[in-house]
Each structure stands twice: as structure tokens, then as C-alpha cells.
Amino acid sequence: MKYILSTLWVFVSLLSMSFTYQSDSQSSKNILNYYQALKGKLGIHSKFKIDTQDIVNGYLSASAPVPGLPANKSVTMALWRSRSGKDLVGVFSFSCSGMGCWGELKGFKIFNANLEEVQKQEIDWQVLETRFKAPIKSKNAGDFPKELLKVRVDIPQKGTTIKIHKGVVGMQSELMATLVYDYNKGTFSIQ
């Protein structure tokens, strides 16, 4: 009987260590790991330099000058980890110039831990596209042509809320959507 209890105790101890190791390895990736792994998918080259690296809050921003222009290409990204250990990495790729920082809606992406684009599964993407296509009414002029519309995605360094603005570069902008992350579900909702 002692032998069976000893064997059972060893087995339970090993099993417990195995689960601990799995949960630790699952959460071992940080925002810098994701930045390095996503460089190819995001078009990040050797001229990109990290501007802000906040490992504790899961935030990173990087930029590179645009040759011959007073502008730069930029990337901001943040890591959200649910209570169950599910990772989502939000990324916005955009350009900055004297007229501000703007990009395309397709420049906003969400990746899972396997580096797969999942924004259309994690967010009701049709709602974002519909809101983006709705006209902006200028107080001084008529409707702006759709070709001039851009977005600015404010990925937070601290917090869980992403704000998406749409507008015309250097002119008018308006809040298009607010995405709120739910730690329990590991998903975003649109407000």
C-alpha cells in the first residue's frame, strides 16, 4: 500500500509540474518577441528603430524615416493576454508627416499567438468597414472624397481600449469606433 501511495504521489507531483510548465511557457512571449516574429509580415526592415518599449504593459512603437521625405513609417503594437492565457497582438502601421499620423483601415491588424491575422474573427469587421465608409460632414465644405479618408488607431500603452478615428489628413477627424478588450473572454467589443 505504501508503494502505491508513494508512486501515486510522485505521479501527481510530476503531473502538477507539467501543468505549471505549460502555463508558464504559454505566457512567456512578450511584446518584443512578437515584434521580432512579426517583422516580415509587417514590412519592418533594418532602418526601423524602437521608439518605445514597455514590456510590463505589453506595448511597443517603432519607426523608420522615409527616404527623401520629411516623414516616417511607424508601427505601434500592444499585447493583450486573457485570463485563460490567450494572446492577441494589436498592430497599426501608418505614416507620419507634418500633417499628422494616418494610415489605412487595412493597416490595423490583430494577430493570435500563432502569428495569424485574426482581426476579422476577433472584431465585427463589417461594422468597422461600414463606419469607415460613412461620409464625414465638414462644417465648412461638402462631403470629402472617399479616397482622402484615412484612419488613426490609438493603441494604448496602458489600458485596454483602442480608439479608431477617421478623417482627412490635416483637416477634420471624428471618432469612428472604440474597441474594448474583455480579459475574461479574450475578445474585443465595438462601442
pLDDT reading at 9 higher than 80: no
Tell me what the mean pLDDT of segment 14-25 comes to. 41
Q: Is residue 22 part of a domain?
A: no
**Residue 97: domain span:** 28-190
- Mean pLDDT for 122-147 is 78
Residue range 105-121: average pLDDT? Answer: 96
**Structural domain count, the chain:** 1
User: Where is pLDDT greater, at 139 or 191?
Assistant: 191
Q: How far is CA 48 from the centre of its chain?
A: 18
**Parallel/antiparallel/unpaired status of strands 187-190 and 108-112:** unpaired
Rounded Cα gap, residues 11 and 16, in angstroms: 9
Mean pLDDT of the chain, nearest integer = 85
Residues in the chain, total = 191
Most confident stretch, 103-117, 126-140, 143-157: 103-117
Mean pLDDT is lowest, of 22-26, 115-119, 126-130, 170-174, for 22-26
Does the residue 2 lie in any domain? no
CA–CA gap between residue 56 and residue 28 (Å, rounded): 12
How sure is the predictor about 21, in pLDDT bands with cuts at 50, 70 and 90?
A: very low
105 within domain boundaries: yes
Report if residue 17 sits inside a domain. no
129 domain-assigned: yes
- For residue 162, pLDDT over 50 is answered with yes
| pLDDT of 13 higher than 60 | no
* 75 within domain boundaries: yes
Q: What is the pLDDT of residue 185?
A: 92
SS3 116: coil
10 is a domain residue: no
* CA distance linking residue 171 with residue 148, whole number of Å: 10
- Report yes or no: 38 and 111 within 8 Å, Cβ to Cβ: yes
Rounded to whole angstroms, how far apart are CA atoms 109 and 89? 8
- d(C-alpha 134, C-alpha 156), whole Å: 25
If one counts every other C-beta atom within 10 angstroms of the C-beta of residue 115, the result is 13
pLDDT band of 134, cuts 50, 70, 90? confident
72-83: average pLDDT: 97
Distance, in Å, from the CA atom of 99 to the CA atom of 74, rounded to the nearest integer, reads 15
Higher pLDDT, 150 or 135: 150
Q: How confident is the model at residue 172 (pLDDT cuts 50, 70, 90)?
A: confident
Is 174 part of any domain? yes
Q: Which of 6-10, 45-49, 66-70 has the highest mean pLDDT?
A: 45-49
